[in-house]
Chain A
Amino acid sequence: MATYAAPGEPGSVVTFQPRYDHFIGGEYVPPAKGRYFENPTPVTGKTFTEVARGTAEDVDRAVAAAEGAAAAWARTSPAERAQVLNKIADRIEQNLEAIAVAESWDNGKPVRETLAADIPLAIDHFRYFAGAIRAQDGAISQIDADTVAYHFHEPLGVVAQIIPWNFPILMATWKLAPALAAGNTVVLKPAEQTPASIHVLLNLIADLVPPGVLNVVNGFGVEAGKPLAQHQRVRKVAFTGETTTGRLIMQYASENIVPVTLELGGKSPNIFFADVADAPDAFYDKAQEGFAMFALNQGEVCTCPSRALIQSSIYRAFLSDAIARVEKIKQGHPLDTDTMIGAQASNDQLEKILSYIDIGQKEGAKLLTGGERKDLGGELSGGYYVQPTVFEGHNKMRIFQEEIFGPVVSVTPFDDYADAIKIANDTLYGLGAGVWSRDGNTAYRAGREIQAGRVWTNCYHAYPAHAAFGGYKQSGIGRENHKMMLDHYQQTKNLLVSYSQNAQGFF
């Protein structure tokens, strides 16, 4: 076990600046209105830096910088852009520990996860899109003997990216890497809950990216995010968040006739068929871990497996083992490498989770473990900690239907395959799902019948760059990850060319 020194304390691997401005046109510039907001760490609830409180003036300036850089960046060769992405990846890798600690401090998540998942995945994502852009082909269609249709990929121009607070650096990377690879310039707005870690990363990579190609404007949604989403010179808006803001972004995009990519969350079912309990072996252990995955990142994951569906014939025994597994989850200081679950990202998030635990009980759901705020004592008393919580109930309850975005799983039994699919699909959302079975046919059929964009089959919470991610139903529009993501940041230019000497014959 080891505990990293907190940023600002002697021996820390990372130091935050006392203040962060906007990053526009390759340099840090203060906000037009001169205002800043305080940024607390969820670990202790105490402020550790202040961040520029951007407004429409700052957004205008950033969009202008991005526009100014767009033509030259679009003209660079795929090999040049790939090299920039690879250098970014190398630089992050060389500073992995510092970035991981910064991310943990800004968000509250355990450093164990940022060291092993968030930051390594971000590194790999930049490398993946560096490779993907070099390998991308246009298509040629032979229309007839003398006519050819050439299809070229061209960047969209300036794209706006609004980043969530649950994986601040990884989610920024999911959006940045394909957009930059495809030759776009970017104005990115980090979440106001987690505005600082991205600047630690930016300070390390600023010299690698031409000025204006990547711009970061901080601030609140209503003051900075909204003017960015509404901006008339932005060619695309990408957003991860919730449904009402998603609709508002579509509404703004309709005014400018630009495309959107929306990732709006889910209420992912995690289905355990009876045969998982056929033997008390490694696979059973893996399925048990799959159940406990609802606590990953404190449940603050759009694909949190927050509904566990367990076949009746194994229900009691499987659930009893699973609760024992959940009760072993180590909650503690996020910078302790043994800690498995850290702090919720903000006070309002904590309050929201507690309000759901309250309505869950009022609706008659049975609390099987957890259910309370956790006071870890000392300086952590001011932090936002919630016990991993397991409820038993039925799928019509609100805790089965609404995304709590906390370490809370709602469990219900099912009788047979048809019942499992019916319950799994009885939701407004369709982002993620889990299927656990030793029978390949059952697992395959269930995976195809569940209306969700990502069905983890005998695994959960893996996020490789080369697998498409995105939602069905109200979970959003478009995909992230996979080389298909390049299309989301590209126009298609068709040159329809005639090699014939002869008139077409109309006039």
Chain B
Amino acid sequence: MSIQERRIRPAAKRVDLSDAAADLLRRLTGQYGPLMFHQSGGCCDGSAPMCYQAGEFRTGNADVHLGDLTVDGVGEQIPVWMSSSQFEYWKHTHITIDVVPGRGSGFSLEAPEGVRFLIRSRLLTDDELSELDV
């Protein structure tokens, strides 16, 4: 990709969100203040993104910061994290945080609303991969 192409295209990202998820995040921010996501693995409600108050979940050496979500009307960006071991198996995919009707999700904040955050995925393109330096 030429430098010029880089300028006119939006920067490649690993994470994005749907309009419905943005609406829900606006409401949750109103209730709880600044938020964060950590992508879960494992059984039951695993393989799903968990939404917490910022700082509730202690990230550390074992985590990768996938990116920050910008939500219109929400002052602070919402960081998205994943454990680095899990990231090894996910790094070729782009994820979109969406929301569906549902019930329950560990200690994730949206559950009492009768909805559940959900990941939708696609493969990153070759251009995106080279830009993200995988």
Contact = CB atoms under 8 A, between A and B. Distances in A.
B87 to A, nearest CB: 11
A222 B46 contact: no
A244 B63 CA distance: 11
A422 interface: no
A243 B62 CA distance: 13
Nearest to B90: A398
B89 A402 contact: yes
Interface string A163-180: 011100000000000000
B104 A192 contact: yes
Contact of B106 (A221, A263, A398): A221
Interface stretch (B6-14, B17-25, B33-41): B33-41
B107 A222 contact: yes
Interface string B39-70: 11111111110101000111000000000000
Residue of A222, A246, A403, A404 contacting most chain B CB atoms (<10 Å): A222
B42 A193 contact: no
B45 A245 contact: yes
A223 B32 CA distance: 13
A358 B44 CA distance: 19
In this complex, the interface size class of chain B, counting residues with CB under 8 Å from chain A, is 35 or more
A165 to B, nearest CB: 7
Contact of A247 (B47, B57, B93, B101): B57
Interface string A461-504: 00000000000001100000000000000000000000000000
Contact of B103 (A266, A348, A475): A348
A54 to B, nearest CB: 11
Given A192-B111, A222-B112, A405 B43 contact: yes
Contacts of A429: 41-42
Nearest to B43: A265
Given A264-B46, A402-B89, A220 B111 contact: yes
Contact of A251 (B39, B58, B100): B58
A225 B107 contact: yes
Given A221-B107, A243-B41, A428-B41, A265 B93 contact: no
A251 B120 contact: no
Given A192-B111, A193-B104, A355 B41 contact: no
A448 interface: no
Interface in A395-448: 396, 398, 401-405, 428-429
Contacts of B42: 241-243, 246, 264-266, 302, 403, 429, 474-475
A226 B107 contact: yes
A241 B86 contact: no
Contacts of A245: 40, 45, 50, 106-107
A349 B85 CA distance: 24
B43 A348 contact: no
A398 B44 contact: no
A351 B103 contact: no
Interface in A206-228: 220-223, 225-226
Given A241-B46, A363-B123, A402-B47, A428 B85 contact: yes
Given A53-B112, A359-B93, A398-B89, A241 B102 contact: no
Contacts of A193: 103-104
Interface of B: 38-48, 50, 52, 56-58, 83, 85-86, 89-90, 93, 100-109, 111-112, 116, 118-123
Q: Which 9 A-B pairs have the closest CB atoms?
A: A348-B102, A265-B43, A242-B46, A265-B42, A245-B106, A244-B40, A348-B116, A242-B42, A302-B43
Given A241-B45, A251-B58, 7 more contacts: A223-B112, A226-B107, A349-B102, A359-B122, A401-B89, A474-B41, A474-B85
29 contacts: A164-B44, A191-B44, A193-B103, A221-B111, A240-B44, A242-B42, A242-B46, A243-B40, A243-B83, A245-B106, A245-B107, A248-B56, A264-B42, A265-B41, A265-B42, A265-B46, A266-B43, A302-B43, A348-B48, A348-B100, A348-B103, A356-B47, A359-B121, A359-B122, A398-B121, A403-B43, A403-B47, A428-B89, A475-B42
